[in-house]
């Protein structure tokens, strides 16, 4: 009897996990689409990238303080390391 209850619990857990994974995948795809739309709108509105970056980050990037600029950008936006580096590199040029 205990084995049957344990098996049922495992099955419920697996089903719940699969449902959460599917939902996460759907939300990830939706977020990617929303980001693409936002990027397109900003591009069509001719909003320069540096207007979307905190002033302190832009100043650090222009001063050649790449590491500090990347760190500040990540703190301010929650961006990943690669995204922050790309933004800082664009600001320097």
Express each pLDDT in 42-62 by its tens digit: 888 887 766 678 889 999 999
Q: Are 87 and 73 in contact (CB under 8 A)?
A: yes
Residue 11: its pLDDT value, please? 76
Q: How far apart are CA 57 and CA 91, in angstroms?
A: 9
Sign of the torsion formed by the C-alpha atoms of 86, 89, 91 and 93: negative
Residue 74: its pLDDT value, please? 93
pLDDT beyond 80 at 34? yes
Q: How far apart are CA 88 and CA 66, in angstroms?
A: 7
Residue 19: its pLDDT value, please? 87
Residue 24: its pLDDT value, please? 92
Mean pLDDT computed over every residue of the chain = 87
Residue found by looking up tokens 């209850």 in the block: 5
Confidence class for position 67, pLDDT limits 50, 70, 90? very high
């Amino acid at each position: 009897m205990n084995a049957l209850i344990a098996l049922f619990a495992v099955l419920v857990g697996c089903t719940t996990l699969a449902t959460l994974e599917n939902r996460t995948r759907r939300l990830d795809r939706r977020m990617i689409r929303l980001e693409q739309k936002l990027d397109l709108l900003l591009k069509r509105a001719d909003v320069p990238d540096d207007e979307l970056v905190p002033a302190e980050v832009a100043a650090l990037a222009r001063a050649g303080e790449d590491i500090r600029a990347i760190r500040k950008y990540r703190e301010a936006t929650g961006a990943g390391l690669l995204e922050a580096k790309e933004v800082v590199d664009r600001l320097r040029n």
